[in-house]
A and B are shown apart, each in its own frame.
Chain A
Amino acid sequence: LAKTTQPISMDSYEGQEVNITCSHNNIATNDYITWYQQFPSQGPRFIIQGYKTKVTNEVASLFIPADRKSSTLSLPRVSLSDTAVYYCLVGDMYTGGFKTIFGAGTRLFVKA
């Protein structure tokens, strides 16, 4: 399983774009990159998943460079309600099961 490294915490202001970068230097060929959001005392919530280049959905974008050794979650125009912990996960979708390892996530604080 590829180990991931993210910043421990980030601060932002309402209306700004937030970019959280995750490092996964030993990502394997079959590994996908998945991001989750978690509020206190709630289960993590899926945000976005990608394999390479750029993926965009209604809440975020995921940028993955060609070497796939890192990825960046981009949250456009954050609001106070985006204050949460964000986790980057890397795993193989096809071999055996999917042993999901949550590393130390990034605690995002959005200020007014």
Chain B
Amino acid sequence: AAGVIQSPRHLIKEKRETATLKCYPIPRHDTVYWYQQGPGQDPQFLISFYEKMQSDKGSIPDRFSAQQFSDYHSELNMSSLELGDSALYFCASSADRGHEQYFGPGTRLTVT
């Protein structure tokens, strides 16, 4: 069965650079979620989209922005990167709001 695809899987950036993470949800899933998980921490909800509209925001820094496109894929844009942004970033999709979420393999971002 098709799963959530995230790219790239690994990304190394320097401080103050920008990064773009991509997420391709499971076909026919209309809801996308983004999470950040630092080392040894629990996943932190960043933002969600339902039918290409922003649904909810969590602890997403102002330096980050995201959108969901007409084909339902989503991108998380991160600017002015800081060392503290080093983390695993997960994308998840669901068939509808509140339904079980299917997580991608994550993008490991390292900021040096």
Contacts and interface: CB of A to CB of B under 8 A. Distances in A.
Interface of A: 32, 34, 36, 38, 41-46, 49, 85, 87, 91-94, 96-105
A98 B31 CA distance: 9
B44 A99 contact: no
Nearest to B3: A43
Contacts of A45: 103
Interface residues of B, number: 28
Contacts, number: 73
Interface string B27-53: 000010101000000111100101000
Contacts of B62: none
Secondary structure of the A side of the interface?
loop
B100 A46 contact: yes
Contacts of B48: 97-100
A58 B73 CA distance: 31
Contacts of A36: 101
Interface string B44-79: 110010100001101000000000000000000000
B100 A49 contact: yes
Given A94-B97, A96-B55, 7 more contacts: A36-B101, A44-B90, A49-B100, A93-B99, A96-B56, A97-B48, A100-B35
A43 B98 contact: no
Q: Which 4 A-B pairs have the closest CB atoms?
A: A43-B103, A93-B98, A97-B55, A97-B56
Nearest to B91: A43
Nearest to B58: A99
24 contacts: A34-B100, A41-B88, A41-B106, A42-B105, A43-B103, A44-B43, A44-B101, A45-B103, A46-B100, A49-B100, A85-B42, A87-B42, A91-B98, A93-B97, A93-B99, A94-B97, A97-B48, A97-B55, A98-B48, A100-B33, A100-B45, A102-B42, A102-B44, A103-B42
